[in-house]
Chain A
């Protein structure tokens, strides 16, 4: 069975600095998708970034980038130039490309950006 592990329950970072959130997963599949979602206090889940396992190039969205290490089954999120609005829960998620397209979510990392 696939699993997703986020080993950092809470993190904090100073405004304008860089922070990296870690995520590891376990699967026997070769092709799949990985996601980072953000959930601010408003509770609305928002997609931050998406990575396709068959692509070697790391995905980037503005200040957000990932370090995807397929062999190590690692998918970390780097937030550059942190802003107060980045304060939220961040969830890593995995989805297969076969079967029922079920998503597996990690338990989340609570990030606080300090002024």
Chain B
């Protein structure tokens, strides 16, 4: 039952290739978040899921980025036609969000993506 897990931990790809990043949230957590963290910078919100739906996709940088969640569990972030500026650590977090009050985010260790 541990914490949030992400795979792979590191991914090196060539410019123009597609990549898929996976997040397994804590069991029972209804909310799931994706963030991007460029080297030495803060967290940039990408997308948020409540259950399997995404009420807020406002942070996705371009139409090359997409994400889905199934079974109110695992989520996949897909980046198509990767560019060098996509190089970053991609962090996933989940929270219980039973009601607006209880929503502490628990983060995964992240996936470090390097686009050559």
Q: Identify the A interface with B (CB < 8 A).
A: 33, 35, 37, 42-47, 50, 52, 91, 93, 95, 97-98, 100-108
Contacts and interface: CB of A to CB of B under 8 A. Distances in A.
Nearest to A106: B42
B107 A101 contact: no
Chain B, interface size category, equals: 20 to 34
6 smallest A-B Cβ distances: which pairs? A45-B107, A100-B56, A107-B42, A105-B43, A100-B55, A97-B100
B115 interface: no
Contacts of A46: 107
Nearest to B100: A97
Contact of B109 (A43, A95, A102, A108): A43
A101 B43 CA distance: 16
A44 B109 contact: yes
Nearest to B31: A101
Nearest to A33: B103
B42 A102 contact: no
Interface string B72-96: 0000000000000000010101000
Interface of B: 31, 33, 35, 41-45, 48, 50, 55-56, 58, 89, 91, 93, 97, 100-101, 103-107, 109-110
Contacts of A100: 48, 55-56
A43 B103 contact: no
Given A47-B104, A100-B48, A100-B55, A108 B93 contact: no
Residue in A37, A46, A102 whose Cβ sees the most chain B Cβ within 10 Å: A102
Given A43-B89, A105-B42, 4 more contacts: A43-B109, A98-B100, A100-B56, A105-B35
B107 A44 contact: yes
Given A43-B109, A43-B110, A103 B89 contact: no
Contacts of A47: 104-106
Contacts of B44: 105
A51 to B, nearest CB: 12
A46 B43 CA distance: 13
A12 to B, nearest CB: 17
